[in-house]
Structure 1
Amino acid sequence: MAETPLPFMIGTFVVLAVFFIVDIFFIGRKPHVPSTRECITHIGFFVVAALLFGGLLWMVAGSGPAIEFYSGWLTEYSLSIDNLFVFVIIMANFAVPKTLQKYVLSIGITVALVLRGLFILAGAALITRFTWVFFIFGAFLLVTAAKMVFGSDDDEEYHENGLIRMLRKFMKISDDYDGEHLRTTHDGQRYFTPMLVVFLAIGTTDVLFAFDSIPAIFGLTKDPFIVFTSNVFALLGLQQLFFLLGALLDKLVYLPIGLAVVLAFIGVKLILEAVHENTLPFINGGHAIEAVPEVPTWLSLGVIVVSIGTAAIASLIHMKAEETSK
């Protein structure tokens, strides 16, 4: 398998940076509620961009990295859709005006991307030195999959994390928004607006989701470049998806099951890799089990597509049946 050329990686980072700059400082700076047409256009653009990127990756690095990217992108995109449930709750919890929600998502997602990048670097360094961490990642994904299927509805409620609670204790935060401003003045005193808290809530909450998604994608590829680009392309267009699917998220009833199947499959894949590459005293007399099957990337891609596709179709059928019965 050929390595991804350095010029291609640098060019990719430059183009992705331009995407985010344009999205935040030009498109995102115009307070408005995106129309359905605008949302579909943006989402379509970023989906096509991801598909083209995978094709270019195939040309410069071979089929292996390209299939890994497609698998990782679909997994991260599917998990990002699940994140939208919490984003909806955060927006409602902080009473963010609809005209400012797109801007909030732009900044919040950018914060999340930076924090995810640091998390990816840490994860890459960890698995490079300690391959036994696959056991932990695999077990964590299996537990997460079980929670998605058997968990309670309480998980859908938003609870402020420790960072936000600490912020409220040490900083003066006003009750009202002042447009896009982070600072405002009341009775001659300077306050931070709730916009700052919302930015941090979106960004840090997304990183909490990364504890599910990052181990999942490391189960599909060990290449930090593919891990990072898969996350970026999954986050691009997420704000438009928020407005397009916001009213439909609660109707995608089978999406958690589809995601659970994907995470469970990747969890088993990681554990098999860990058994294959590590020597444990209680397994095979302290020798690595070379006969343990390795799951090919194309099979991973197939499982992801079938699981998410089936969940989406089943949800649509369920939604249609409910509408007919009314």
Structure 2
Amino acid sequence: MFHLSEFIFLGGFIVFIAAILVLDMLVIDKKAHEVSIREAGTWTAVWITLALAFSAFLWFKGDMVHGISSFADLKAVASAYAPHLKLDPSDFEASLQQYRHYMTISYISGYLIEKTLSVDNLFVMMMIFTAFGVGKNEYQHVLNWGILGAIVLRFVFIFLGAAIISRFDWVLLVFGGVLMYSGVKMFLDRNKKEEMDVQKNPIVRLLSKTGRIHTQFEGDRFFVRKAGRLLFTPLFVTVLVIEFSDLIFAFDSIPAVFSVSLDPYVVFFSNIFAILGLRAMFFLLAAIADRFRYLKTGVCVLLLFIGAKMLIHEWVEIDAVTSLCIILAVLVASIGASLLPQRKKA
């Protein structure tokens, strides 16, 4: 059950995010250009700082999200999203602080999960850009609209998923099974060279039937009018294909974040801050992707852990702090192993 205070906070958060996106798209990146490693690194740091600043807000004022003003409010929220917490009715402030800290740790865990799983999606984006022959100057333009679409999809998927989970607990077992399957499949396919046949893509085939695909790029334009007909440029088709790939990716990433929190607001906040930094992360990863050869293996291990956690949650409760430590350990191990010098083949 949603309360007015939650809608007000969510509305304010969406307005804040929309303002950032408008500033980013219309002012900061108004002129198309190829993003350097230095610029990508700077913006990655900016987005990470914003994400950490929001975690600090949750640590001290997280109760504002749900408008908690009494122990009865706190108990109702905790019963819905964190029933394992042991709250003390005689000490409202300590219980409130306990829930704030739980929200913060869950948010950070969700943020790290989304960031890590996004790595595989970024590789797919690189493949799409190459397959469609998009110029590097236009990467920003496409990614901006791709991120905007991803935010809308996340909003729908997360709150729809939360509503389903609240009614049917067994859905978590389905999510766990899907994540375990994805982890095994990704591990088995980790060394396969992925290629994309543009003509066989379902989005391209669907649009081709309309006869409205323009064969040439027209700068950063998505549409062009020829002989009185409105045609889709290859850049617009690229955006749609990226949105479609993100839709598929969401079937793994969103259930994964639900493994650390059932609070749809925490899941949404962690997803959005992770997505906002994707564009900068894309340019950074594109330059140094070859150096992180074990990162995909780390993603596989993370999916297996999250899937197993969801499958056994009825019998074994892995608390938020332990989950965060395991996630960090997997990330550090995969990045550390990638940075080790490779043995030369005989």
Residue matched to 1:59? 60
Q: Does 2:138 align with 1:100?
A: yes
Q: Does 2:342 align with 1:321?
A: yes
Residue matched to 2:148? 110
Residue matched to 1:85? 123
Q: Distance in 2 between matches of 1:171 and 1:123?
A: 37
Residue matched to 1:211? 251
What is the TM-score with the length of structure 1 in the denominator? 0.87
Q: Does 2:281 align with 1:241?
A: yes
Letter in 1 for 2:159: L
Q: What count of residue pairs does the alignment treat as equivalent?
A: 304
Distance change (3 Å), C-alpha of 1:79 and 1:4: farther
Residue matched to 1:305? 328
Matches within 5 A, 1:1-326: 6=6, 8-61=9-62, 62-151=100-189, 153-154=191-192, 156-158=194-196, 161-186=201-226, 189-273=229-313, 276=314, 292-317=315-340, 320-321=341-342
CA offset at residue 191 of structure 1?
Answer: 2.2
Distance change (3 Å), C-alpha of 1:294 and 1:5: farther
CA offsets 1:142-173 (integer angstroms, 9 cap, x no match): 11111121126557333565333212211411
Distance change (3 Å), C-alpha of 1:53 and 1:306: same
CA offsets 1:120-139 (integer angstroms, 9 cap, x no match): 12211111110001111111
Q: Distance in 1 between matches of 2:201 and 2:298?
A: 28
Letter in 2 for 1:316: L
CA offset at residue 24 of structure 1?
Answer: 2.0
Q: Distance in 2 between matches of 1:40 and 1:246?
A: 12
Cα pair 1:183 1:192 within 8 Å, conserved: yes
Residue matched to 2:84? none
Letter in 2 for 1:103: H
Residue matched to 2:97? none
CA offsets 1:277-304 (integer angstroms, 9 cap, x no match): xxxxxxxxxxxxxxx2211011111111
Q: Distance in 1 between matches of 2:37 and 2:305?
A: 35
Q: Gaps (5+ residues) in structure 1?
A: 277-291
1:156 alignment partner, SS class: coil
What is the TM-score with the length of structure 2 in the denominator? 0.82
Cα pair 1:85 1:156 within 8 Å, conserved: no
1:176 alignment partner, SS class: coil
Letter in 1 for 2:251: F
Letter in 2 for 1:119: F
CA RMSD of superposed structures (Å): 2.3
Cα pair 1:4 1:57 within 8 Å, conserved: no
CA offset at residue 187 of structure 1?
Answer: 5.9
2:329 alignment partner, SS class: helix
Cα pair 1:112 1:202 within 8 Å, conserved: no
Q: Distance in 2 between matches of 1:254 and 1:155?
A: 15
Cα pair 1:116 1:210 within 8 Å, conserved: yes
Cα pair 2:190 2:297 within 8 Å, conserved: no
Q: Distance in 1 between matches of 2:312 and 2:190?
A: 30
Distance change (3 Å), C-alpha of 1:41 and 1:171: same
